[in-house]
Amino acid sequence: MAIEAAPAFLDTTHLLNTFGLIGLLLIIFAETGLLVGFFLPGDSLLFTAGLVSAGGLAGVTLAPLWVLLVLLPLVAIAGNLTGYWIGHRAGPAVFNKPNSRLFKAEYVEQAHGFFAKYGARTIVLARFVPIVRTFATVMAGASRMDFRVFALYSVIGGIAWAGGVTALGHWLGQVDVIREHIEAFAILIVVLSLIPVAVELLRARRTNRRGTTTA
């Protein structure tokens, strides 16, 4: 049963059922490397793919766990390298876009805040934060981060995120209570993955308001 409460592009069971392994790989690549992919549910897709590999989703087949643990980190790393290349070629101009419903200044500010706070470690930490993981890679290229440092942290982050979340889904998929309520847990993963975004956006807005008041 699909997650009826979620939009089609957030319904992980629908996405996996419709597009399969190739679609999963393309979505992970787009979310980690292309600016247009920041709204895609990467975390919940990885988790659900792990559940599927454990047989936790009736009627859905994908690939054995070992295949997922090889291909998904590779695609996540390739996405990061592509994002870096886009930022490096386009430079800061890539972020000089008018505000729109999809491309908002808050997203760039959020990624910039992560860089200011964590430096190169942002490439690893941002993997686990939706939206930030998309913009951070492009920002790294635009700011001319040393490519060898970027590539190293991209490999570490890609394995930890894509491999770790998928393996977690596979392990939890063998727990009866989770297997019996998979739709609810899939929704929970989506909600949890959005909490860091909401927190950071609220912080950014409060900071902007304080700055405006001071000025």
The pLDDT assigned to 132 comes to: 77
SS (H, E, C) the chain: CCCCCCCCCCCHHHHHHHHHHHHHHHHHHHHHHCHHHCCCCHHHHHHHHHHHHCCCCCCCCCCCHHHHHHHHHHHHHHHHHHHHHHHHHHHHHHHCCCCCCCCCHHHHHHHHHHHHHHHHHHHHHHHHCCCHHHHHHHHHHHCCCCHHHHHHHHHHHHHHHHHHHHHHHHHHCCCHHHHHCHHHHHHHHHHHHHHHHHHHHHHHHHHHHHHHHHC
pLDDT confidence of residue 6: 47
**Over its length of 215 residues, how does the chain's per-residue pLDDT go in tens digits?**
344 444 444 566 667 777 788 988 998 998 888 877 666 667 778 888 888 887 756 566 788 899 999 999 999 999 999 999 988 887 766 666 655 554 556 666 666 666 777 777 888 888 887 777 888 888 888 878 889 999 999 999 999 999 998 998 888 877 777 766 666 666 676 676 667 666 666 766 676 666 555 55
pLDDT reported for residue 82: 93
pTM above 0.85, yes or no: no
Check residue 12 and give its pLDDT: 67
